[in-house]
A = this chain, B = another copy of it.
Amino acid sequence: MVPLKIGIVGLGLIGGSIGMGLRAAGHSVVGYDRSIAEAETALKRGCVQELADLKEVLATDAVFVSVPPDAISEVLDLAESNRNPHTVVTDCASVKGPVVAWAKGKNAPWFIGGHPMAGHEKSGSQYASAWLFRNAPWILCPTESSSKETRTTVSSLISDLGALPTIVEANDHDQHVAVLSHLPHAVAAVLVQMGAELSKSQLSGGSWKDFTRVGGVDPELWTQIMIGNREALAAAIRQTTTHLEELASYVEAGDAKTLKKYLTASKQAKSKLDKTKPI
């Protein structure tokens, strides 16, 4: 491994964890966050060796942009004008269509879109961990213009974090995460509201705990994510409600035979999912 100078823009949970992990792997890391409090927490927790101006951070060897979705194109525009000739740049947004469209428009060989499939129900670098990405898929969405060096450098850094780099086309990514990530977050947001109405919500077991873990995530961030993937997420939600209405009708009618058939199909689906090869 060649130690690089890494720049991180946005020192929240994701940016802070990238910094910690890459420092642990032997790279040097500088960071920037527009919130001074967040930046200082990240420095104090060792997510970065030092804080720096945004322009300086954008002129390192490799830049991770881990800001909320709505702020990404602004940071990428600044990266374009402030990077060094050899600087490669990636982002961490959980919706890839808009970012990749930006990159295509710019014909930017120095950029590759990315999305780590790992997170936490808490926000901020105070919860950052060098282990957050270990064994988690980290999706990369290169455009035709992404250079080989950009792909190789970013992929290598992701491997240094213990994550599993995997190439997926941007729209395909967005369709998949609508079901695999955004939908669970939407359902969790619903379930916590229903649970809070109960007089004895503490009578819950493991499945409830699992289902509501991500029920209170950052509203501003997740509004941007959900609306950023609006079509695919709305379709995933509607597919869910159709399925649920079907299940409810079997339950309500006491139709044990059909319900059991449905649950048997679920058991087979779960078994298929469990057997799916990791990336």
Chain A residues with a Cβ under 8 A of chain B: 117-120, 136-137, 139, 166, 168, 172-173, 176-177, 179-181, 183-196, 198, 200-208, 210-220, 222-224, 226-227, 230-231, 233-234, 236-241, 243-245, 247-248, 251-252, 254, 256, 259-260, 262-274, 276-279
CB neighbours of A276 from chain B (8 A): 201-202
Does A205 contact B168, Cβ atoms closer than 8 Å? no
Q: Which of B176, B236, B252, B266 contacts A215 (CB 8 A)?
A: B266
Q: Which of B137, B172, B186 contacts A247 (CB 8 A)?
A: B186
Q: Which of B173, B202, B211, B240 contacts A244 (CB 8 A)?
A: B240
Does B198 contact A180, Cβ atoms closer than 8 Å? yes
Q: A191-B240, A194-B239 are in contact. Are A216 and B180 (CB under 8 A)?
A: no
Does B237 contact A205, Cβ atoms closer than 8 Å? no
Does B203 contact A177, Cβ atoms closer than 8 Å? yes
Q: Which of B180, B181, B202, B277 contacts A279 (CB 8 A)?
A: B202
Q: Which of B180, B183, B194, B259 contacts A226 (CB 8 A)?
A: B259
CB neighbours of A270 from chain B (8 A): 192, 196, 212, 215-216
- Residue ID in chain B nearest A132 by CB atoms: B206
- Residue ID in chain B nearest A220 by CB atoms: B260
Measured between alpha carbons, how far is A194 from B187 in the docked complex, in Å?
Answer: 14
Does B190 contact A240, Cβ atoms closer than 8 Å? yes
Q: Which of B172, B223, B239, B264 contacts A200 (CB 8 A)?
A: B172
CB neighbours of A172 from chain B (8 A): 200
CB neighbours of A185 from chain B (8 A): 207
Does A252 contact B240, Cβ atoms closer than 8 Å? no
Does A179 contact B198, Cβ atoms closer than 8 Å? yes
Q: Which of B195, B207, B263, B269 contacts A223 (CB 8 A)?
A: B263
Least CB distance, A9 to chain B, in whole angstroms = 22
Q: Which of B119, B183, B216, B240 contacts A206 (CB 8 A)?
A: B119
Does A244 contact B241, Cβ atoms closer than 8 Å? yes
CB neighbours of A200 from chain B (8 A): 168, 172, 176
- Residue ID in chain B nearest A240 by CB atoms: B190
CB neighbours of A219 from chain B (8 A): 260, 263-264, 266-267
Least CB distance, A183 to chain B, in whole angstroms = 7
CB neighbours of A194 from chain B (8 A): 179, 183, 236, 239-240, 243
Least CB distance, A203 to chain B, in whole angstroms = 5
Measured between alpha carbons, how far is A91 from B41 in the docked complex, in Å?
Answer: 52
Does B203 contact A176, Cβ atoms closer than 8 Å? yes
Q: A179-B195, A195-B179, A269-B196 are in contact. Are A244 and B186 (CB under 8 A)?
A: yes
Least CB distance, A213 to chain B, in whole angstroms = 6
CB neighbours of A176 from chain B (8 A): 198, 200-201, 203
